[in-house]
A and B are shown apart, each in its own frame.
Chain A
Amino acid sequence: MDTVFIELDGVEKVFDVRRRTGFLKRERRQVRAVDSLSFTVPRGEMVGYIGPNGAGKSTTIKMLTGILTPSGGRLRVAGIDPSRERTRLARRIGVVFGQRTTLWWDLPLIDSYKLMHRMYRIPDARYRENLDRCVELLELADLLEVPVRQLSLGQRMRGDIAAALLHDPEVLYLDEPTIGLDVISKAKVREFLRELNTERGTTVLLTTHDLQDIEQLCSRVMVIDHGRLMYDGPLAGLHEVGESERTLVVDLERELPPIDVAPARVVKVEGPRQWLAFPAHESAAALVARVAAEYPLVDLSVREPDIEAVIAKMYAGASGEAQRVVP
C-alpha cells in the first residue's frame, strides 16, 4: 500500500523580478523562492511548516494546490500533478488562507456552506453530517444565520475552516490559521484540528508563525528558509540542531559573584537574581542540586527554550547546508 500522499522531488519556483532602476530602465533579476525542495508526507500526518517571512512557505502551499506552476522538479499530491489538474485536485483538498476569507461577506454564514454543497456536489447526507459535525465542534450553531461581515475574526476563521472541510478533503492546507486570534479561539481551532487529524485521518499541513500551534499539534516540523529545507523531523530534534539552551533563574539570599557550576554559564545578573543558561538536554535537577549545595538558594525557576530563538540560531548557523534529522 502506498501511503505517500504528498511528494516533492527537487521542486523549484523561480520568479522573474523586474526592478525600476531609472526612467524606463529596468533591471531583471531571478528570485528563487523555492530551491530544490524535496520531501514526502504520508497520509494522515500532521506537519508544521515554518520559516521566516519570505522563506517560501506560501509559495510551496500554492504549488501544492496548483495555484502556481513549479519552474522545475516533480510534485504530486494524491498522485496528481496539481498545476496540470488543478480542478480535479480541488475536490480532494481543503485550503484555508488565514488572511483572506472565502466566505460571502454580506450573506449569512450558512449560505456560504450551501454554495459549497452545490459547487462541490457533496451528497446531501454527507453534507448534513459534515456540517453538523463542524457546527458542533467549532461552535457555529449561533452563527449560521449571522452575515459574515458581523462575525469576529475568530468566528470567521472557524467558519472558514468548516467551509474547507464540508467536501471531505483528504488533505487540509492551513496558511496561518491562528493569526490574529485570541487565546480561546486559538485553543478551539487547535482542538478541532487535532480531532480532525486523529478521528478522520485527514492529512494536515500548516504554516504558522505561532510556535505553540506546532508544539500542540504537529509531530513533525519542517523548517524552510530561502526556499530550502533547513530541518525536517520531530520538534524535539529542532532543539538539538539549534543547540538550544534552557534557562535556570535562581534567587540567592544576597548579591554574590556569578555562579560557577558546569555546564551552566551565567548570562545575566541582577542583584541577588542570576540567569544561568545550560544545554537543553542536560538534567535541570542535577544542576539545581549542585547550585543548592554550593550557594544560599532562596527560589528558582526553569524556562524552556524559546523555539523562535532556536530557529533564529539555526538560521544564523546555517551556511546553506541543510541540517536534517530524518525521523
Chain B
Amino acid sequence: MESSRPVGGLRAYGLIAGMWIRSSLAYRASFAMTVLGNLLLSGLDFVAILLMFSQVDALGGYRLPEVALLYGLSVTSFGLTDLMCNSLGQLGQRVRDGTLDTLLVRPAPVLAQAAADRFALRRVARLTQGMLVLGYALVAVDVDWTPLKVLLLPVMLVSGAAIFGAVFVAGAAFQILVQDAAEVQSAFTYGGTTLLQYPPTVFGKELVRGVTFVLPLAFVNWVPAAYVLGRPYPLGLPEWAAFAPPLVAVGCCALAGLAWRVGLRSYRSTGS
C-alpha cells in the first residue's frame, strides 16, 4: 500500500534524522561539547542586544521587552526551521560532489531526505535560546492581552517557521543550479533572522519595503508584533495585515515548492 507523498516524506524524514542522531552519538564527548558550545554562542547573541540597551532606553522607539519580543519571535521560528532543515542550506555541497544522486534513487521524496540530511540535535540550542528570550519578553512586555493577541502568538511562530522554511527550500533549489550559492542563501536566512531581531523603525524604508513585499519576512514578526504591541504598522499597512502571516506562509511555500520542482528537474549531476 502506497502512503501519500507528505506522509511518506515525513516518515523518511524521521528515519533519516534518527540515523543522524545516532551517528552523532557515536562521538558522545564531541556531541556534548558542541551542544554546550552552541548554547553559549546563542546566549551571547542576545547579550549583544542587552549591552546596547545598557547605553540607550529605546531602539527605534521600541523598549527592551518589545525588542525582546521581536527577537524571541524571530529566533524561535527561525530556530525551528534551522533545526528541521538546516542542511538544505548546504545542498550545493551535495550537488557539487554528486552525492545527491544517492538520495534520488531512494523511494522517498528527495526534499524530505535532503532536509533530514546531517540532522543535528545540537541546533536545539538556538531554538531554546529563542524560547527563553520570548518567555522573558512575554512576562516583561506591557500589553493588554486579548484572546486574539494570545492566539496570534502560536500562529506567528508556525507561519514564521514556514516562511523561513520556504526561503530554505527556494535557496536549495537555487543551489542545484548554482552550486556555490550557499553564502547567498545564508544572507537571506541568517541575515533575515538577524534583521528581524530589530524594530523595523531602525531600518530604511526601501529595505523594509523589500522585506515586506519582495521577500515577505516582515510577516514573521514585524507586522503581527506591531498589532500585539499596539504600535504603528511598518509602511502604513492596513490592520488586517497582522493576520496575513498564514496566507503569506502558504503562498511562500507554494512558490518554493514550485522552485524545488524546477530545480530538481534541471539537476545535472556530476561526471561518473
| A interface, CB within 8 angstroms of B | 15, 53-54, 57-59, 62, 65-69, 83, 86-88, 90-91, 93, 95, 97, 99-100, 102, 104-107, 111, 115, 118-120, 147, 175-176
Interface contact A90-B269, CB-CB below 8 Å: no
Interface contact A107-B19, CB-CB below 8 Å: yes
**Which residues 19-47 of B have a CB within 8 angstroms of A?**
19, 22-23, 26-27
Min distance, Cβ B17 to any Cβ of chain A, angstroms: 11
Question: Chain B: which residue is nearest A54 at the CB level?
Answer: B271
Specify which of A86, A105, A119 is in contact with B23 (CB 8 Å cutoff): A105
Counting CB contacts under 8 A, is B60 at the interface?
A: no
Interface contact A68-B107, CB-CB below 8 Å: no
Question: Chain B: which residue is nearest A147 at the CB level?
Answer: B26
Specify which of B105, B267, B269, B271 is in contact with A95 (CB 8 Å cutoff): B105
Interface contact B272-A99, CB-CB below 8 Å: yes
Among A59, A118, A119, A147: residue with most chain B CB under 10 A: A119
Min distance, Cβ B256 to any Cβ of chain A, angstroms: 20
Among B16, B26, B109: residue with most chain A CB under 10 A: B26
Specify which of A68, A97, A147 is in contact with B102 (CB 8 Å cutoff): A97
- In Å, the complex CA distance between A150 and B56 comes to 57
Interface contact B101-A97, CB-CB below 8 Å: yes
**Which residues 155-203 of B have a CB within 8 angstroms of A?**
none
Min distance, Cβ A136 to any Cβ of chain B, angstroms: 26
Q: In the complex, which residues of chain B have a beta carbon less than 8 angstroms from the beta carbon of A90?
A: 105-107
- In Å, the complex CA distance between A120 and B12 comes to 10
Q: In the complex, which residues of chain A have a beta carbon less than 8 angstroms from the beta carbon of B12?
A: 119
Interface contact B107-A66, CB-CB below 8 Å: no
Among B16, B101, B109: residue with most chain A CB under 10 A: B101
Question: Chain B: which residue is nearest A93 at the CB level?
Answer: B105
Interface contact A62-B23, CB-CB below 8 Å: no
Interface contact B104-A115, CB-CB below 8 Å: no
Among B22, B97, B105: residue with most chain A CB under 10 A: B105
Q: In the complex, which residues of chain B have a beta carbon less than 8 angstroms from the beta carbon of A65?
A: 104-105
Interface contact A87-B102, CB-CB below 8 Å: no
- In Å, the complex CA distance between A131 and B190 comes to 45
Question: Chain A: which residue is nearest B113 at the CB level?
Answer: A119
Interface contact B267-A91, CB-CB below 8 Å: no
Task: Please count how many residues in chain B sit with their CB below 8 Å of the partner chain's CB atoms.
Answer: 25
Counting CB contacts under 8 A, is B268 at the interface?
A: yes
Q: In the complex, which residues of chain A have a beta carbon less than 8 angstroms from the beta carbon of B23?
A: 104-107
Among B16, B107, B272: residue with most chain A CB under 10 A: B272
- In Å, the complex CA distance between A97 and B22 comes to 25
Min distance, Cβ B160 to any Cβ of chain A, angstroms: 30
Q: In the complex, which residues of chain A have a beta carbon less than 8 angstroms from the beta carbon of B99?
A: 100
With known contacts A99-B272, A107-B19, A115-B19, A69–B265 Cβ distance under 8 A: yes
| B interface, CB within 8 angstroms of A | 12, 15-16, 19, 22-23, 26-27, 97-99, 101-102, 104-109, 265, 267-269, 271-272
In the complex, 27 of the A-B residue pairs with CB atoms within 8 angstroms, ordered by the A residue number, are: A53-B271, A54-B271, A58-B269, A58-B272, A59-B269, A62-B269, A67-B105, A68-B267, A68-B269, A69-B265, A86-B105, A87-B107, A87-B109, A91-B107, A97-B102, A100-B97, A100-B101, A104-B19, A106-B27, A107-B19, A107-B22, A107-B26, A115-B15, A115-B19, A118-B15, A119-B12, A176-B272
With known contacts A62-B101, A100-B98, A106-B23, A119–B269 Cβ distance under 8 A: no
Specify which of A53, A97, A119, A175 is in contact with B108 (CB 8 Å cutoff): A119
Min distance, Cβ A327 to any Cβ of chain B, angstroms: 27
Interface contact B106-A119, CB-CB below 8 Å: yes
Question: Chain A: which residue is nearest B98 at the CB level?
Answer: A100
Interface contact A58-B271, CB-CB below 8 Å: yes
Q: In the complex, which residues of chain B have a beta carbon less than 8 angstroms from the beta carbon of A66?
A: 104-105
Question: Chain B: which residue is nearest A17 at the CB level?
Answer: B268
Specify which of A68, A93, A115 is in contact with B268 (CB 8 Å cutoff): A68
- In Å, the complex CA distance between A68 and B107 comes to 16
Question: Chain A: which residue is nearest B270 at the CB level?
Answer: A58
Interface contact A106-B26, CB-CB below 8 Å: yes
9 A-B pairs with the lowest CB-CB distances in the bound complex, closest first: A90-B107, A106-B23, A106-B26, A58-B272, A95-B105, A67-B104, A91-B107, A102-B102, A65-B105
- In Å, the complex CA distance between A53 and B99 comes to 19
Min distance, Cβ A67 to any Cβ of chain B, angstroms: 5
Min distance, Cβ A106 to any Cβ of chain B, angstroms: 4
Q: In the complex, which residues of chain B have a beta carbon less than 8 angstroms from the beta carbon of A175?
A: 272
Q: In the complex, which residues of chain A have a beta carbon less than 8 angstroms from the beta carbon of B106?
A: 90, 119
Interface contact A111-B15, CB-CB below 8 Å: no
Q: In the complex, which residues of chain A have a beta carbon less than 8 angstroms from the beta carbon of B27?
A: 106
- In Å, the complex CA distance between A57 and B272 comes to 8
- In Å, the complex CA distance between A68 and B26 comes to 35
Question: Chain B: which residue is nearest A87 at the CB level?
Answer: B107
- In Å, the complex CA distance between A69 and B151 comes to 46
Min distance, Cβ A198 to any Cβ of chain B, angstroms: 25
- In Å, the complex CA distance between A118 and B97 comes to 27
- In Å, the complex CA distance between A84 and B241 comes to 40
Q: In the complex, which residues of chain B have a beta carbon less than 8 angstroms from the beta carbon of A91?
A: 107
Question: Chain A: which residue is nearest B106 at the CB level?
Answer: A90
Q: In the complex, which residues of chain B have a beta carbon less than 8 angstroms from the beta carbon of A54?
A: 271
Q: In the complex, which residues of chain B have a beta carbon less than 8 angstroms from the beta carbon of A53?
A: 271-272
Min distance, Cβ A251 to any Cβ of chain B, angstroms: 43
